[in-house]
Structure 1
Amino acid sequence: MILKVYQPESPILKRYIECFYILEKTAAEKPITYFTFPSIYSIVTISAQTSTFVTADKIITTHCPTAPIETNLVCDFNQPVLISYDGKINEITTYFKPLGLNAFITDDLRHYTAGTFPDFNPYDDYKEAMTSILSLMDHQERIKALEAYWISKLRPFADPLLENVLGEMLDTDNLNQSITTLSRKIGRSRTTINKHFDQHICKSPSQFKKIVRFRAAIQSQLDNKDNLGLSYHVDYFDQSHMIRDFKKLTGFTPKVFFSKIAALERDEIKWIFI
């Protein structure tokens, strides 16, 4: 398997996109199975000659030479999911920052999320363009072409309320700030905040906040490997709170989770292989 992560080269796209990754697997390689975990990003995946079977907690992708391109969006991802690849795979995934994808689509993000694993086809030329990009052999050329496509679709988008709320939530000094406290601080009701989150992020504020804290704990532990048992605890009210969140978001206790996790490509990708 080849797994390569690329940061956006375009200064414009750096504001909206966290990273791209290319995943390739040959037909001769054994099937790959791993758990992936909730994130705050909107995730857009394109793959050639594949057929994907989806349930609430499992995504199985197999090579299918006669299948058209698959283009999928995941943004309401709030529990661990088992991913499996079988056969030849040619795939590119884009991680859009919170509110990032909204600047490239014509409707609210929620509009594109009907179904368990919705087909994502935001423009008439989208699938044709993605098919052409996947056919490029050179990885750098693929990413360059993908960036050019997204830049061509950039449109004005602004939600001052959400930008304010996200600024508060993503500040590591505020990881334990309650939604009620945040609502009072910015002077808007929880109902209004919830509505904006549902329209443009497809998570509730509490789900988003829980994932931010969880991901901060993972990164803290990866940055302090010699301090196991302490570094990832600092952002939780107490140990029982930490264990409860980890079990909900990963299916594992923190101790088991950190004993199994594989951090790939400079810690950008965090999976547990089966």
Structure 2
Amino acid sequence: MIADFYIPKNDLLQKYMTGYYFMAKHRDSEPTKYLTFPNNWSIHSVKEDSDVEYRNDTLHIKPSAEKKINSRLVFNYNVPLEISYEELVNEVTVVFKPLGIHYFIPNLNFSEMENGEFWPKGNYADFMRSVFAETNREKQREMIEDYWISQFADPDLGVICTILNDVESPMKIEEIAHKNHITRRYLNKLFQKYIGKSSSEYRKICRFRKALQDYKKARNLTELTYINSYHDQSHFIKDFKALTKINPATFFKNVDTDQETIWLFK
């Protein structure tokens, strides 16, 4: 594992964050890369003195001679994303649960944004520079958690929260729209604004992620297909290959689904 992953100590942050991780640069580090597969999180990464370039579904990261803070937000990708480091850099990445980031930055509209450069409020670059300068990991954790607690805004997201829970249920999208007295078109407009993808894309990824969690519980792929509400195994394989680019049998042979950080695969 190239990064140290932490669940927030603070109960409030635990409601909205999956966790955060730190990576530290090493003078003798070798090129490193891993794949991360589609998810419904908002992933905020901050890197010190580095250049980041996105091309061909790969994030290329390398140290930069220029003294700067690189701050990015990724909230939507539907194919495997390769993270490639020319060498390791100092990095802090915060992983927000679906809707989670909106409780701290309430005016975000993902439908008007793309994955890329992202700056939270305040003199954020200087703050993150101070985090990287701190050598004590527990103090770093305290600084990160204190910052995000200070940004908590608690907006009223009741309607989209209800719709999100409904989309994670077996209900049909048309039924969810009818239940919430909106059109399917408006439902998807809300999803694009708050999640950055359509409700059907969100559901496909949600089902895929649940299949990863349920893999060890199922006796075989056929059982895994039906406990995750796929119509049949061909439907399961089709969706799985669309999100991973490989078939389920090969995927599960090569991926440890017992990892605590199931979203990160080397």
TM-score normalised according to structure 2 size: 0.91
What residue number does 2:147 align with?
A: 149
Shift of 1:249: 0.7
SS in 1 for 2:196: coil
Q: Which residue does 1:162 correspond to in 2?
A: 160
* Separation (CA, whole Å) in 2 of partners of 1:190 and 1:59: 34
Q: How does 1:47-196 map to 2 (within 5 A)?
A: 47-110=47-110, 113-114=113-114, 117-170=115-168, 174=169, 176-196=170-190
The 3 A distance-change label for structure 1 pair 263 and 64 is farther
Q: Distance in 1 between matches of 2:209 and 2:66?
A: 39
Q: Secondary structure at the match of 2:24?
A: strand
| TM-superposed deviation, 1:263 | 4.6
Counterpart contact for 1:220–1:231, Cα < 8 Å: no
- Say yes or no: does 1:244 pair with 2:238: yes
SS of residue paired to 1:203: coil
Question: 1:14-41: per-residue Cα shift (whole Å, max 9, x none)?
Answer: 2211111122342323211121111111
In 1, the alpha carbon distance for the partners of 2:138 and 2:185 equals 44
CA distance in 2, matches of 1:220, 1:24: 33
Q: Distance in 1 between matches of 2:150 and 2:58?
A: 34
Question: Relative to 1, partners in 2 of residues 1:102 and 1:136: Cα closer, same or farther, differing over 3 Å?
Answer: same
Identity of aligned residues (%): 29
TM-score using structure 1 length: 0.88
Which one is further off, 56-65 or 70-79? 56-65
How far the C-alpha of 1:160 sits from its partner, in A, is 2.0
Structure 1 residue matching 2:243: 3-state secondary structure? helix
- Residue number in structure 1 paired with 2:211: 217
Equivalence for 2:3? 3
Report how many residues are paired.
264
Q: Return structure 1 stretches of 4+ with deviation > 6 angstroms.
A: none
User: What's 1:227 paired with?
Assistant: 219
**In structure 1, C-alpha distance between the alignment counterparts of 2:14 and 2:198, rounded to whole Å:** 25
Closer/same/farther in 2, CA of residues 106 and 112 from structure 1, 3 Å limit: farther
Which of 254, 258, 261 aligns to 2:252? It is 258
The answer to whether the 8 Å contact 2:18/2:96 transfers is yes
Matches of 1:263 and 1:67 in 2, distance apart?
Answer: 38
Partner Cα separation in structure 2 for residue 166 and residue 199 of structure 1: 13
The answer to whether the 8 A contact 2:106-2:155 is kept is no
Deviations 1:70-105 (A, max 9, x none): 110001222211111122321111111111101111
- Structure 2 stretches lacking a partner, 5+ long: none
Q: Mark the CA change 1:189 to 1:56 in structure 2 (over 3 Å): closer, same or farther.
A: farther
- CA apart distance, 1:228: 4.2
Rounded Cα–Cα distance in structure 2 between residues aligned with 1:88 and 1:38: 23
1:267 corresponding residue in structure 2? 260
Query: For residues 180-201 of structure 1, what are the alpha-carbon distances to aligned partners after superposition, in whole Å with 9 as ceiling and x for unaligned?
Result: 2222233322112111111111
**Cα deviation, residue 269, structure 1:** 3.5
